[in-house]
Structure 1
């Protein structure tokens, strides 16, 4: 091997080493500078706070025998704002309180629509008619309420779109799904 090849290899290796060192130094400096503002950015961001609350919310609720427990399936825990000082402590679970007479009033169609149906029927996904779209609902309403209830409860695949059984929310009762259908039909006549 000639001295020129050896000299080239030494110089090339040194330059490559210097470039790697400069790159790593710049990356380290960037991370160090970002570290001081990242915690504050995340503490002030309402979307980050909402995601954290969603991840730490209780997964189950207690249903007691002899009591009306229908409110447990329909209500979601209320999100409380998290301040940076109280973020380390988990929120206390609140007991579910049944409405004054949920059996007499029946399921709330709007609440069920907001929690389950709005994903597709609010945006018109998978051929779902939007609430308030009279043209989109006209042919469906003409089939009758019983047919609409049956399609919503059991599922339906038509030429225009797909309706999964209970909108994919198998935890909902047939009455709750019917109330949501009635709410959408009333808003689309």
Structure 2
């Protein structure tokens, strides 16, 4: 090996992948441009969750739907007089039972009501309160359960039933009614 061969071998050991000025300029350019595009892409990715989707619609409406109330409190007069069965029927039941919509037995149709009357008042009331077939539950609606029971009796008796009209239950045992306080003697 000559001295000249030794120098060439030594230069090859220390040379890098960049051999021309053009390669040097491209390497410097891409070492700055690629990280800038990477940062822009990361910023876009992080902030894209805050942008409304295309065609998302009304922003205020979307917020109102997300924060809508879950429940509500309704105050009713528990001591109001109960409505008669005919009035409850007219307000709640007549829409279907007056015309026979969706297979509902018509008021006064003894043939349609006969098998139902045979099941008894408790079964009829249960169907009215919880719903049956196309009829939705009536319990917890605008009327007290006893009033729904009165409407059931009204319809069943109009078709030949002999049910007694239900009455509101008395106050549970153990409930003490407030008694007037006597004035102290002088």
Do they superpose with TM above 0.5?
A: no
TM-score normalised by length of structure 1? 0.42
Structure with max Cα Rg: 2
TM-score relative to the length of structure 2: 0.43
